[in-house]
Structure 1
Amino acid sequence: MNNSGSNRDAIYLALMTIPAGKVITYGQLAALAGLPGAARLAGTVLCGLPENTALPWHRVVNAQGKISMPEGSPGHKEQRHRLEAEGVKFNNQKISLRIYGYNN
């Protein structure tokens, strides 16, 4: 039995619960989706999102509170812009997970 579609849907549903101005790590997103230990799967699912998605993909960061895309890349710039527009502050290239982390 292949659960890839249901796992993807679970990640999408979890992602929709992250409020504006908050961030979540890939591992936390996977756990919220009922898939503990599946941080890489969460990342893979987010990489496969269509370009015009309404899902708040930009609210997912790595465990260090950093944007995972290469600094200076279009995706990195877009994610940072979206987060800053929601009031998330960066200190150097990091976001304080203590301040901005989503704790459901």
Structure 2
Amino acid sequence: MKSCYKGFNFFSKEDQQLFEAVASGEYNISGFQNKNLRKKLAEKSSSQVSRLIKRLRTHGLLKKIGRTYKYYLTKLGRKVIASGLKLKEFFIIPELAAI
């Protein structure tokens, strides 16, 4: 039986912080580990960050580097996160402000 993992909400502050941490350019070449994300998401414990990583992997946004504890964004992950954050920042928020 497969486990169900909830999706992501670009309007959630927690999800937005996660996306910004994962998409920061410093991890593009060598990838990142749980401890790297914990530094960016200070309020999260190691197990909470592990569950977030699992959610990202389940949705196809992250890939694990073999025989290491490192992860990197997939092409899909980069596109989804960049598009979602841009859409929110440049279109949705200004439209709501105009109301």
Shared fold by TM > 0.5?
no
TM-score norm. by structure 2 comes to 0.41
**Bigger share in helix:** 2
TM-score, structure 1 as length reference: 0.39
